[in-house]
Amino acid sequence: MIMWGLVCGRLLSGLFQKQIISPRALNKTCSLHGPVRWMATCRPAPLLRATPCRALIDELITLKAYHLPRNSPVTMRARMTCEDGHLWQSVSHYHTDEDGVVDLTKHPSVGGSYVGCEPMGLFWSLQPAPGGKQGLRLRKKHVETPYTVDVSVLEGHISPLNSSRDEQISRERELATVSLQRWYMVPGVRKIEIRQNRVVGTLFLPPGPGPFPAVLDLWGLARGLVEYRAALFASHGLACMTLAYFGHKDLPGPPKRISVGDSYFKAAWQVLCDHPQVCEDRIAIIGISFGVFVALRIATSLSVNPSCVVCINGPFCNVNKLFGEDGENTDEEQKHWNSNDQGYVSFKDFSLPCNVPPENFIQIEKVRCPLLFIIGEDDLCCPSIENADEIERRLRTADKSQLFTRVSYPGAGHLIEPPYAPTCHTSVWASQPTQSMIQWGGNLKQHAAAQKDSWPRILTFLERNLRGEDTA
């Protein structure tokens, strides 16, 4: 009889909560089976909140989960599918507090993809899911659309998914989820394709009437046009033209050789200067990797006057003489390539100053504008430290040391990008027929810290030299 009363009580409790039966009718019914003691067990459903849920890629997103089991283990998980259809994910382990809350701005992760209090750790620790394609590098191709990231909180501490069984377990343990968007373009940014005077590029203009200070954006030997950093600069109020000079279908010559020279870069500079929405006397250059070599070549060897130059992990010398007035170049010399035990390639010796003929150095003594050098001390692709040391020495000898600002990051690798982008330690180098794996370097957490710190420094440096003011 007692068991029947308990069963009856649970069934009728459900009816009561759904307001199918009233308390008076309930008491009358239960009196037939003996007394039943009632206790409220209803509590709010778990809730996961992202603030904001639509943000720029470099903007902090606050993640906070409520109404969870108190003082209990939970897993925070981020998942997204990149434009090539590959799944990326990160997981991190937390313990809820006495109120059943996990706040990523206050609470430390105790395991998983990262440890410590890292409000944006779920984003910068994203990696290809186990069992997926190896050697991936996350690069946004279509800047008009966002990355959509699904963040979930799950019961207990779980590992990254690597099987359909794990997927089933995670669905059973999911307590709450939220979808958010991460953008490179704010509303109102205008994207303009440039095909003028043989120049191949994309110009991004900020919202508003202009004219605007501008940046010429130069990537390394990545094929085609890389647009996402230029779009982000425009979202911060600077016009920015990203320039193709290697591996683009609209450029002359073989697709895997640099077939443009000084005349091409001078024409690109002029296209940017002549645009009616650009302040022609307020133009900077930013380069990463081999783009640093190009940026310094433009600033010192062409009859142009950039307001400043930002260099991220790149050389000012090269074993090959790559540029001339007619755009001649020579084949890359693989004798300077090095490989580790896994066969992954490093190009550090390719631009070590001690390996380079004197005639292949940029004449850095001719520079007339401020230089900002961002250096990752764990760069496995370029001898950034050695190049910066030599640049600093030569500028000191030329009595121009005041033009040189150096920021160095222990543990950071080659690909220092805008904040919260995933660290890429190695990836496939698609420019080579053999699809070699390149070593970029970088400790996950230290590289993320370098990206977070360097980006506002770059923006402040540009604002100071283009507008004569610092950013807030």
pLDDT for 132-168, tens place per residue?
788 899 999 999 999 999 999 999 998 876 545 566 7
226-to-212, 315, 351 alpha-carbon distances in Å: 21, 20, 23
pLDDT (tens digit per residue) in 446-471: 999 999 999 999 999 999 999 986 55
Residues in CB range of 207: below 8 A, 6 or more apart: 186, 187, 188, 189
Please give the order of strands across the beta sheet that includes 102-103.
47-51, 62-66, 102-103
Among 248, 292, 267, smallest CA distance to 388 is for 292
Calpha distance 79→64 (Å, rounded): 17
* Known active-site residue 281: no
Find the length of the chain. Answer: 472
Question: How many helices, marked H, and strands, marked E, lie in the chain?
Answer: 9, 22
* Known active-site residue 447: no
Containing 263, the helix (H) or strand (E) segment is helix 262-274
Q: Is the pLDDT of residue 216 over 60?
A: yes
Q: b vs e for 380-397, b when ≥16 Cβ sit within 10 Å of the residue's Cβ?
A: bbbbbbbbbebbbebbee
Q: Is the pLDDT of residue 55 over 70?
A: yes
What residues pair up with 47 in beta bridges, in sequence order? Answer: 66
Strands 278-288 and 212-218: parallel
- Average pLDDT rounded to a whole number, residues 414-423: 95
Predicted pLDDT at 23 = 43
Predicted pLDDT at 348 = 83
Among the options 351, 379, 425, 447, which is catalytic? 379
What is the percentage of the chain residues whose pLDDT exceeds 90? Answer: 67
Between 12-26, 34-48, 148-162, 184-198, the lowest mean confidence (pLDDT) is in 12-26
* Known active-site residue 399: no
- Average pLDDT rounded to a whole number, residues 353-360: 88
Whether residue 211 has a cis bond before it, omega within 30° of 0? yes
> Is 328 or 318 the better-scoring residue by pLDDT?
318
Among the options 93, 414, 425, 447, which is catalytic? 414
Calpha distance 86→130 (Å, rounded): 11
Between 242-256, 304-318, 385-399, the lowest mean confidence (pLDDT) is in 242-256
Task: State which fold the 47-183 domain adopts.
Answer: Immunoglobulin-like (2.60.40)
* CATH code for the part of the protein at 190-466: 3.40.50.1820
User: 61, exposed or middle or buried, with CB in 10 Å at 0-12, 13-18, 19+?
Assistant: buried
Contact status, residue 360 vs residue 321, Cβ threshold 8 Å: yes
Highest mean pLDDT among 260-264, 281-285, 322-326: 281-285
Tokens 């193709």 correspond to what residue?
244
pTM greater than the 0.75 cutoff: yes
Q: Is the pLDDT of residue 288 over 70?
A: yes
Calpha distance 284→457 (Å, rounded): 15
pLDDT averaged over the chain? 86
Among the options 289, 351, 427, 454, which is catalytic? 289
Reported as a pLDDT band with limits 50, 70 and 90, residue 431 is low
Among 209, 78, 198, 201, smallest CA distance to 147 is for 78
Containing 177, the helix (H) or strand (E) segment is strand 174-183
Containing 397, the helix (H) or strand (E) segment is helix 384-397
Calpha distance 239→246 (Å, rounded): 22
CA angle 415, 230, 86 (to 5 degrees): 55
Tokens 């009595």 correspond to what residue?
399
Q: DSSP for 106-137? A: TSPB-EES--B--TTHHHHT-EEPTTS-SS--
* Domain-wise residue ranges, the chain: 1-35, 47-183, 190-466
